[in-house]
A and B are shown apart, each in its own frame.
Chain A
Amino acid sequence: MKYVILIQSNERSLAVWETMTDQQRMDLGRGHMELNEEMQKAGVHVSSEGLADPSLAKYVSVRDGKTITSDGPYAEAKEHLAGFYLIDCETQDEAIAWAAKVPDAANTEVEVRPVLDMSGWDI
């Protein structure tokens, strides 16, 4: 079973970030690297990435076969995806245990969502 652990950046997480010392910020980054390694060693890691600032995002749409890119209009959004872990483990409880190790869970919260697959049983 694949699960994605989503980490959002929002007003609350930014407020926590503002109060952190440099050392605490370093520890947060190192915590992510260590978690990555731990997931790899446990044989559950599929992929994980941190995302660049939303000001660098491009919005893409296609109308009448033409690709249109723009910088917004959502640049002022209060919450955005900051990063994710994609893991493959046996149960939701196991996924929750991994999510609890994400450093951000100690500050705000992280989201665990099952990933849809292509399996199908006889009906």
Chain B
Amino acid sequence: MTGVEDLLRECAPQVLGAVVRRYGDFDRCEDAVQEALLAAAQQWPADGVPDSPKNWLITVAARRRIELLRSENARRRREESVSHDPEPEVRPDDELTLLLLCCHPALTPVSQVALTLRAVGGLTTAEIARALLVPEATVGQRISRAKQRIRDTGARFTMPPAAERAERLTAVRQVLYLIFNEGYTASSGARLHRVELTTEAIRLARQLHALLPGDGEAAGLLALMLLTDARRPARTTTEGALVPLAEQDRTLWDAAAITEGVALITATLASAPVGPFQLQAAIAAVHGEAACAELTDWPQILQLYGLLRVLDPSPMVTLNRIVAVAMADGPSGALAELAVAEMDPALTGHHRVAAVRAHLLDMAGDADGAREQYRLAARLTLSIPEQQYLTSRAARLSG
């Protein structure tokens, strides 16, 4: 990212916040700010950055909003008085209000993601489309539908009442985590564009943490992203093949990100009520602190998964905990737990059950059983790198 792009993305939510607070019509203001950002991206590199970039953007967006309004009302010839309007101004909690509005519970997750990336992240529709691997027109539709929905529900650009805020913040954190995963789980293909999504998610999580330093889960989310992203350079080969955690070259991990993530989660666990993102960050921190796979503190990881299972149970937590059981206490107990876990309809026939079982049988020395389960998992997965990994595991056991 260039300096101008950095600056524009930083300004985007503040400018939109100022304009929408002043005029109220979120839909039109968002379009106007997007156009002001595009104008700046073209003009500033050539003409130089103005003395007050935010005021420049606010002025251009406000003018553009009037033009949009006029063209909509052209037939009725209704003029809007412009000259007496006070200039919109930037206020500190605008960014949070904006995040809460973009992650409004009436929107579907895909709409929340697209709208947040554009309105808060300052990305263009084309950039979002490239990152999400869908056509630009499709993303455009998702954004306009999201704005339509916001209009229909009568949601306004105001801070939700205190009683609602906790729930609404949960949605914000979830959306940022979705954006992060969308980028992080992409191991190749359009990797370059998608890595930008993890960077963007971390940037937004940093903002959220800065806006709400006392929110333990916001801190936990940022720590989790930092600690997970730190492993990115080691998790794929140059050809895009997946490298399992145990075989990763840990010298490739981003030591600075690990240090920051560990410090953040340690401080947060000591001061805030514990939550699911903090526990996941704590697990990532245990991995991050192990100099080699053999030195991983599996009993501690097992304990953390035990807490996570109580606090925020999910099929994936169940499976990850079973892997931790095997690593801490050996595969036989873990295999028995897996047989029980599989009864959960969410896990029946899931490729990851077969992948975990393959891994456990492999540990137990049952090569035939493991091979068969690796092959089964390879058939059921929807991910090409995972399929390659599972197939090569099965092949390694043949012979």
Contacts and interface: CB of A to CB of B under 8 A. Distances in A.
A116 B387 contact: yes
B66 to A, nearest CB: 28
A90 B134 contact: no
A40 B138 contact: yes
Contacts of B370: none
Given A90-B109, A123-B244, A123-B245, A116 B382 contact: yes
A5 to B, nearest CB: 16
B138 A88 contact: yes
Interface string B358-379: 0000000000000000000000
A118 interface: yes
B141 interface: yes
Interface stretch (A17-25, A42-50, A69-77): A42-50
A120 B109 contact: no
Nearest to B287: A122
A88 B382 contact: no
Given A88-B138, A118-B240, A120-B383, A43 B145 contact: yes
Q: Which of B110, B191, B245 has the most CB of A within 10 A?
A: B110
A11 interface: no
Interface stretch (B6-14, B180-188, B339-347): B180-188
Interface of B is mostly: helix
Contacts of B126: none
Interface in A1-20: 1
A117 B231 contact: no
A29 interface: no
Interface in B222-265: 228, 231, 235-236, 240, 242, 244-245
Nearest to B109: A90
Nearest to A1: B382
Given A116-B382, A117-B383, A43 B139 contact: yes
Interface string B185-205: 111111100000000000000
Contacts of A115: 382
B138 A43 contact: yes
B384 interface: yes
A46 B382 contact: no
Contacts of B191: 118
A61 interface: no
Nearest to A41: B141
Interface string B114-146: 000000000000000000111101110110010
Q: Which of B109, B190, B235 has the most CB of A within 10 A?
A: B235
A43 B140 CA distance: 8
B117 to A, nearest CB: 14
18 contacts: A40-B137, A41-B145, A42-B141, A43-B141, A43-B145, A46-B135, A47-B135, A88-B132, A88-B133, A116-B387, A117-B382, A117-B383, A118-B186, A118-B189, A120-B235, A120-B242, A120-B383, A121-B383
